[in-house]
Chains A and B, each alone.
Chain A
Amino acid sequence: MKVADLVASATAFQSIPSEALAEFDAKREILVARINERMLQRPDLDALVGAGNQQMMKDNHANHALFMSAVLGNYHAQVLVDTILWVFRAYRSRAFHPNYWAAQLNAWVDILKQELSPESAGAILPLYHWMIVHIPQFSQLTDGAAGGAITQKAAQ
């Protein structure tokens, strides 16, 4: 699947109702705290994000929440796809494994269901399901980024 195909498949989404966005924004810090708790408890965390990358992971969670707020409020399929690919490249070059995103995004789904009202979660979750379904495509399109020069040198 090419980037253009991903963008085409993402065009069905729209900006979410303002009430849902407001709730997401109001609870953003709590949501980020929850995802951090959930991921830090995982015994396979080093395999998912690379040794020593826990702070980088937490930074990603904070940025993810900010970005999702921006996208959910003013939806733009090209921005969504390009940014996801940017994130995959940047973090895979630093030893994050594609399985991290499967673990992370599935955890986000659970947390959003727990923390948001059913109406808000219902408005937001379709986009998360789309992202989860397309993790293989994001991985395939960013395979060249895995193991950037600095990570490789450190491993030697």
Chain B
Amino acid sequence: MRIDELGLNRFCEALMAGQRGRCAAMLDHYISRRTPVLDLYEQLFQPALYRIGELWETNQISVATEHMATAIVEGLMNELYPRLLPRQRRALRAVIASVEGELHQVGAKMVADIFEMNGWDAHYLGANMPLSELLRMIQQVQPHVVGLSLSVYFHMNLLVKALDVLHSRFPKLILLVGGQGFSRGGAAIIDKFPNARLIDSLHQLNEFAAQYTPEDLESADTKGAS
């Protein structure tokens, strides 16, 4: 079932009113109509949060309302989690985090969920991940892919620093980057990293996660230098 503008408007209203139960009921309605999880993310959660961000930007809602709405969406995503797991796992691993300094995390959480939907083990590290700790986690997990989320352009230098270090330490590791921070530009910055790719949408990410197989991916040199 496609989510229309009316449904999105109602969902946004409920989020801003803090009506968690009503939001959950709306989600149940879409699930009962077999709306795919990817559609729920792309057509409901993501546009709702973008709209709420714009309302905060113009001081139509407070930061508390914005945080409340975000927290409700994260809670709904947690409720969806058991539904998005496929029957078969694929022995592929991803580490997903928001760049150091970046406090927004819902986008990275969606990325992790989409990897899981496609049978990957996604290690979701949340917001503001210090680079040193990210490196330690990569050594431990030995992922095939690392995903870094950038919600605000201000943190671009920290992303570039992370890509520099990751590319140097793990030259075969696929690095995916994305987020609202790229909405006005910055794609060219990624071009200098041969194994880094900018992901423009959840749909594009889903295709990536679905298409790659253990045979396609080179084994990630994640032992690196300590």
What distance in Å separates the Cβ of B16 from its nearest Cβ neighbour in chain A?
12
Report the Cα distance A25→B153, complex, angstroms. Answer: 16
Given contacts A66-B101, A78-B185, A89-B58, 10 further A-B contacts (CB under 8 A): A67-B153, A70-B156, A74-B156, A78-B184, A79-B153, A79-B185, A90-B58, A150-B60, A150-B61, A151-B59
CB of A69 within 8 A of CB of B157, answer yes
Chain B contact patch, size range = 10 to 19
**In whole angstroms, how far apart are the Cα atoms of A93 and B56 in the complex?**
10
Query: Please, which residues of chain B bring their CB within 8 A of the CB of A76?
Result: 184-186, 188
Q: Are B186 and A149 in contact (CB under 8 A)?
A: no
With A and B bound together, what is the CA distance between A150 and B154 in angstroms? 26
- A94 at the A/B interface (Cβ < 8 Å)? yes
In the assembled complex, B28 has its CB within 8 A of some CB on chain A: no
Q: Is the pair A66, B58 in contact by a Cβ cutoff of 8 Å?
A: no
A110 at interface (Cβ–Cβ under 8 A)? no
Which residues 55-112 in A have Cβ within 8 Å of B in the complex?
63, 66-67, 69-70, 73-74, 76, 78-79, 82-83, 86, 89-90, 93-94
Report whether A73 and B184 are in contact in the complex, using a CB–CB cutoff of 8 Å.
no
Nearest CB on A from B222, distance (A): 27
Residues A93 and B59 in contact in the complex (CB < 8 Å), given A79-B185, A79-B186: yes
Q: Which of B60, B157, B186 contacts A148 (CB 8 A)?
A: B60
Report yes or no: A83 in contact with B184, Cβ–Cβ below 8 A: yes
Find residues 106-147 in chain B having any chain A CB closer than 8 Å to their own CB.
none
- Is the Cβ of A70 less than 8 Å from the Cβ of B185? no
* Contact status of A148 and B189, CB under 8 A, knowing A79-B184, A83-B153: no
Say yes or no: A74 contacts B57, CB within 8 Å. Answer: no
8 contacts between A and B (CB under 8 A): A25-B157, A73-B160, A74-B186, A76-B185, A79-B185, A83-B184, A93-B58, A94-B59
List the B side residues contacting A78 at CB < 8 Å: 184-185
Closest 4 CB pairs of A and B: A148-B59, A93-B59, A70-B156, A66-B154
B59 contacts across to A, CB distance below 8 A:
90, 93-94, 145, 148-151
Binding site for A on B (CB under 8 A): 57-62, 101, 153-157, 160, 184-186, 188-189
CA distance A10 to B219 in the complex (A): 44
Q: Hey, which chain A residues are within 8 Å of B188, CB to CB?
A: 74, 76
Q: Provide the bound-state CA to CA distance between A123 and B185, in Å.
A: 23
Q: Mark A126-156, 1 if CB is under 8 A from B, else 0.
A: 0000000000000000000100111100000
- How many angstroms from the CA of A70 to the CA of B185 in the assembled complex? 12
A83 contact set on B, CB distance < 8 A: 153, 184
Instruction: Indicate if the CB atoms of A145 and B58 lie closer than 8 Å.
Output: yes
| Separation of A151 and B60 alpha carbons in the complex (Å) | 9
Nearest Cβ on chain B to A138's Cβ, whole angstroms: 15
Bound state CA distance, A66 and B59, in angstroms? 23
Cβ-defined contact, A86 with B154, below 8 A:
no
- With both beta carbons as reference points, the residue of chain B lying nearest to A77 in the complex is identified as B185
CB distance from A83 to the nearest CB of B (A): 6
- A86 and B186: CB pair below 8 A? no
CB-based contact B154/A67 at 8 Å: yes
Partner of B157, one of A66, A86, A149: A66
For chain A, residues 9 to 41, give those with C-beta under 8 angstroms from any C-beta of chain B. Answer: 25
Residues of chain A within 8 A of B61, CB atoms compared: 150
Please tell me if the beta carbons of A150 and B157 are within 8 angstroms of each other in the complex. Answer: no
CA distance A93 to B55 in the complex (A): 11
How far, in angstroms, from A145 to B54 measured CA to CA in the complex? 12
